[in-house]
Every structure is written in structure tokens, then in C-alpha cells.
């Protein structure tokens, strides 16, 4: 339980609602900043106007998945006002307060370090990334289906990278009957791809492996699909780049060659915000409980 735990939420999207709900179910005391248009009510949650005083008892500050913008703006789909994460709010936080964000930004890192506050980047955690790979892959399949006139079953798919997203994607494509070729650079990844009954290739050999490709999925956040690779793709091929912005594809050259190439960021929040929110809610609340235990606080139950 989170009885007696003070959690402040600043901004967010539909995913944040799942985190608020879960904190409310666990009996936390919740402050909502940037939620003036939110109609639903949750036990223990109060909408507040931010001022330094309200942060004085906060044990955890929860920011949106994207954190803040470079100028400190915190996006909120539930507010018609611009919210900027202010220096004096963080200054007022108790020393033990932990800041949770999906990803960090220089603005956030600088503020957290200025006030010596622990900053947790949820999307960097292996467990979150693996759970998130499920809606990401469903979104990638949706895009592939919408942008081709062939079935994925029987199609020739190339997946670049065998990280958290690449592995889920390669396995899912194989399960629905695609012919899956996976490019990686580490020997242990090539061995794992073979073990999964897929066709491995070293990234240095990419040109020969894309020649018969119907759909190329990139998960590597580095320029692994330059013009020299794109010239070897068949003209009907579709490229779906899942890697974080700016992706790993030369989009300008793909367009010039008439090859459809799509950069597809943020799929979990788009295709399955509820699931993506629940993934964050489960992890955040577990971390909040662990933080309390580490501080020697009880969970509100008398024993
Ligand atoms: P990950 O587990 O770190 O996997 C990244 C893969 O890329 C690894 O196989 C890594 O191989 C490889 N790699 C990295 N740099 C490389 C380079 N310079 N050359 C060759 N291989 C390289 O990451 P992930 O969780 O799978 O996420 C992959 C990307 O998708 C990230 O950019 C992430 O932000 C993004 N993402 C997008 C969505 C979406 O909705 N589109 C959702 C989740 C994640 P090594 O081990 O050899 O380095």
C-alpha cells in the first residue's frame, strides 16, 4: 500500500491516468498539476495550483513519459495552460523525493542534479522496455499491414537489431509466418537469431540481405540504412523505422528512390495507451513501495 505516501503528478497523457488510478487504489495522497480539464475523479487525488509550498511533503514527483521539453515545458493533454517545471518547485522538494520520468532531458537532469534529487528514467529500465516492446510491435505490425498489399505471412521481412524491440518483433513476425532475416553485429546475437530458427546476418552484409526484402524494420538508433543500402532494396519495399528520432534510415534518399519509409515513434502511447499506462503504473508503484521500505516507512497497515 501507499498509505501516507504523497505523490505529485505534473502533466502527461492518457498513460498517466493509469498511473494515477493505481496510486489511488493503493491509497496514496495525490496532487494533480496540469489536469484542470480532467473530468474523472480518483479517491485521494486533488487538483492543485502549483506553488513551492505544495511540494514540501512530496515523496515522489511523476512526470510524463517524454519528461520536459528543452525549455522546461511539461506537456499535458489535460490542461489548457502552459506548465513549466520551475526551479523553486524542485528546491522545495524534500531530499528523499524521487522524480520519475519516461525519459530525461538536459533541463530535467540539470535541475535534478542542482537539488541532488534522484531521477529515475523508466523507459531505460529493461523490464519497462521489454513490456513496452509488446505494444510497440503490435503498432509496427499495424503499420506494415496498412502500408502493404501483401500478407505478413509468407513475406520477406528484415529486422535490424536484436535488442528488446528487435527480439519481440522478430519472434512475432516468425510466429505469423513471415520469413525473417535479422541483422546484428554481436556474435551472441547472431547465435541467438539462429537459435530462434531465423536467418542471421552480420550488419556488414546488409546489402545482400535486403535485395528480396518486402518490409525492412529498423530498431537500431544509428544510421544503419544509408543510401548505399537503400539502392539494393526492391522498389516495392516498405521501410518502418522504429528507432528513436531521427531513426536510422536515410529518409531523403528513400523518398528520392520512391521507396516508402516511415518513422514510427511513440507507438505504445498511440496504439495501446491503456496497456502502456498500466506497464508504467505497475513499475512506478512497485518502485514507490520499495523506496518507502528502503526509508524504513511502513505501508499504512498496523501489524
Ligand atoms: P536496445 O535493447 O538497446 O536495442 C538496440 C539494438 O541496436 C541492439 O541490438 C544494439 O546492438 C543495436 N545497436 C545499437 N547501436 C548500434 C550500432 N551503432 N550499430 C549496430 N547495432 C547497434 O533498444 P530497444 O529497447 O530495442 O529500442 C530500440 C530503439 O527503438 C530505441 O531507439 C528506442 O528508443 C526505440 N523505441 C521505439 C519505440 C516506438 O514506438 N517506435 C518503442 C520503444 C523503443 P548491440 O548490443 O550490438 O549494441
Residue closest by Cα to atom 2 of ligand 1: 163
Atom of ligand 1 nearest to the CA of 162: 9
The residue contributing the CA closest to ligand 1 atom 42 is 136
CA-CA distance, 41 to 24, in Å (whole number)?
Answer: 10
User: If you measure from the C-alpha of residue 108 to the centroid of ligand 1, how many angstroms do you get, rounded to a whole number?
Assistant: 23
Question: Are the beta carbons of 279 and 128 closer than 8 angstroms?
Answer: yes
Q: Which atom of ligand 1 is closest in space to residue 133's alpha carbon? A: 43
pLDDT for res 299? 58
Q: By three-state DSSP, how is residue 30 classified?
A: strand
CA 174–ligand 1 middle distance (angstroms): 19
Domain boundaries, given as residue ranges, for the chain? 6-124+272-294, 127-268
Burial of 73 (0-12, 13-18, 19+ CB in 10 A): middle
Which CATH code for domain 127-268?
3.40.50.720
> H or E stretch including 294?
helix 273-294
Q: What separation in Å is there between the alpha carbon of 221 and the centre of ligand 1?
A: 5
Distance CA 251, CA 273 (A): 28
Separation between Cα atoms, residue 176 and residue 209, nearest integer Å: 21
Distance CA 184, CA 218 (A): 11
DSSP category for residue 67: -
Three-state secondary structure along 185-243? Answer: CCHHHHHHHHHCCCEEEEHHHHHHHCCCCCEEEECCCCCCECHHHHCCCCCCCEEEECC
Selection from 297, 278, 290 nearest residue 3 by Cα: 297
- Of 122, 128, 163, 242, the one to substitute when testing ligand 1's pocket (max ligand atoms within 8 A of C-beta) is 163
Encode pLDDT of 194-225 as tens digits: 999 999 999 999 999 999 999 999 999 999 99
The distance in angstroms from the start CA to the end CA of the chain is: 13
What pLDDT does 293 receive?
A: 87
User: In angstroms, what is the span from residue 222 Cα to ligand 1's centroid?
Assistant: 8
Kind and range of the H or E element at 160?
Answer: strand 156-160
Which neighbouring-strand residues pair with 120?
A: 100
Using alpha carbons, list the distances in angstroms from residue 260 to 52, 142, 238, 248, 256: 50, 15, 5, 15, 10
What pLDDT, in 10s, does the model give residues 101-149? 999 999 999 999 999 999 999 999 999 999 999 999 999 999 999 999 9
CA distance 212 to 109: 45
Average pLDDT over residues 251-277: 96
Tens-digit pLDDT profile for residues 150-206: 999 999 999 999 999 999 999 999 999 999 999 999 999 999 999 999 999 999 999
- Banded model confidence at residue 303, pLDDT cuts 50, 70, 90: very low
R_g over Cα of the chain:
22
Is 75 in contact with 66 (CB distance < 8 Å)?
yes
Fold of 6-124+272-294: Rossmann fold (3.40.50)
Ligand 1 pocket (Cβ < 6 Å) reads 129, 132, 136, 161-166, 184-186, 203, 219-222, 224, 242-244, 264-268
Residue nearest to atom 23 of ligand 1 (CA): 163
Closest CA to 241 of 214, 267, 218: 218
Distance 78 CA to ligand 1 centre (A): 31
Please name the residue whose Cα sits nearest to atom 22 of ligand 1. Answer: 220
Amino acid at each position: 500500500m501507499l498509505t501516507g505516501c504523497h505523490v505529485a503528478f505534473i502533466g502527461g497523457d492518457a498513460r498517466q491516468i493509469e498511473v494515477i488510478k493505481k496510486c489511488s487504489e493503493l491509497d496514496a495522497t495525490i496532487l494533480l498539476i496540469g489536469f484542470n480539464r480532467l473530468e474523472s475523479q480518483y479517491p485521494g487525488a486533488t487538483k492543485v495550483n502549483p506553488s513551492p509550498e505544495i511540494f514540501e511533503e512530496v515523496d515522489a514527483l511523476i512526470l510524463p513519459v517524454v519528461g520536459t521539453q528543452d525549455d522546461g515545458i511539461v506537456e499535458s493533454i489535460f490542461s489548457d495552460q502552459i506548465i513549466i517545471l520551475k526551479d523553486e518547485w524542485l528546491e522545495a522538494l524534500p531530499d528523499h523525493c524521487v522524480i520519475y520520468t519516461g525519459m530525461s532531458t538536459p533541463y530535467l537532469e540539470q535541475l535534478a542534479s542542482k537539488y541532488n534529487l534522484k531521477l529515475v528514467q523508466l523507459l531505460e529500465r529493461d523490464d519497462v522496455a521489454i513490456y513496452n516492446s509488446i505494444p510497440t510491435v503490435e503498432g509496427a505490425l499495424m503499420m506494415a499491414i496498412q502500408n502493404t498489399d501483401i500478407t505478413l505471412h509468407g513475406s520477406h521481412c528484415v529486422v535490424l537489431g536484436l535488442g528488446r524491440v528487435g527480439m519481440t518483433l522478430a519472434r512475432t513476425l516468425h510466429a505469423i509466418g513471415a520469413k525473417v532475416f535479422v541483422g546484428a553485429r554481436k556474435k551472441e546475437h547472431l547465435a541467438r537469431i539462429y537459435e530462434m530458427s531465423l536467418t542471421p546476418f552480420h550488419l556488414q552484409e546488409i546489402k545482400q540481405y535486403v535485395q528480396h526484402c518486402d518490409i525492412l524494420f529498423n530498431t537500431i538508433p544509428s544510421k544503419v540504412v544509408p543510401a548505399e543500402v537503400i539502392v539494393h532494396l526492391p522498389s516495392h519495399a516498405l521501410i518502418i523505422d522504429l528507432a528513436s528520432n531521427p531513426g536510422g534510415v536515410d529518409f531523403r534518399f528513400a523518398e528520392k528512390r520512391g521507396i516508402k519509409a516511415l518513422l514510427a515513434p511513440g507507438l505504445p502511447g498511440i496504439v495501446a495507451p491503456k496497456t502502456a499506462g498500466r506497464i508504467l503504473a505497475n513499475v512506478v508503484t512497485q518502485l514507490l513501495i520499495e523506496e518507502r521500505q528502503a526509508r524504513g516507512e511502513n505501508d499504512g497497515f498496523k501489524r
